[in-house]
Amino acid sequence: MSDFPYTLKGMKELNTSDGTAFTVNIYRGKKKIGTIENDGRGGADMVWIDQAEQAAWSAWSKSLEPFRSAPTTYFPEGLVLNHPEESAVAYLMHVFEDAEEARWLDRQSKTKIVAVAKAAPERQYTLFHYNKGEGPAGTQALLPQLFSDFPKIQKVWIVGEGWVQRS
């Protein structure tokens, strides 16, 4: 997914009485070519693409496999988006949210241990101070002791590297 020709930048969110509204810009390289918006009332995301980019966007959207979400309580098999443009937006939002989350986790991990316990809900983290060494190498060196002291920890975030699973 990381080799997409499009990226999202500049997300702005606003909490409303019905949900979260947002707007985010679509870029192809360094050029802004469109916008995705949602008014936060449970409706679909609205996509506006510059006229000159319409053909390329449409062709790219149609080249993607239908997006399948992770399983949820309401959609145990995952939600499948069969419309090409909906899938394109879902893929881009997924990549964007993962990158934002990784930046947040890196920031948190500079001063704390960020861990996920076994059977924790998705994106629920445990943040705690632990006598760790400096930087990612210090956290890496600490993993055997950390996993021994805290048997419920399933994985730990390492700055710049991502998740390290319990072996």
- Phi first, then psi: give them for residue 45, nearest 5 degrees: -75, 140
Which pLDDT tens digits describe the chain residue by residue (167 residues)? 456 899 999 999 999 888 889 999 999 999 999 999 999 887 888 999 999 999 999 999 999 888 887 777 777 777 778 788 888 888 898 888 888 889 888 888 887 888 888 776 777 787 776 665 666 777 788 888 888 888 888 888 888 888 888 87
- Phi first, then psi: give them for residue 146, nearest 5 degrees: -60, -50
pTM exceeds cut of 0.85? no
Of the CA atoms within 13 Å of residue 65, those in its CB half-sphere come to: 4
Q: Identity (one letter) of the amino acid at 76?
A: P
Locate the DSSP E strands across the chain.
6-15, 20-28, 31-38, 46-49, 67-68, 80-81, 113-117, 126-128, 153-158, 162-165
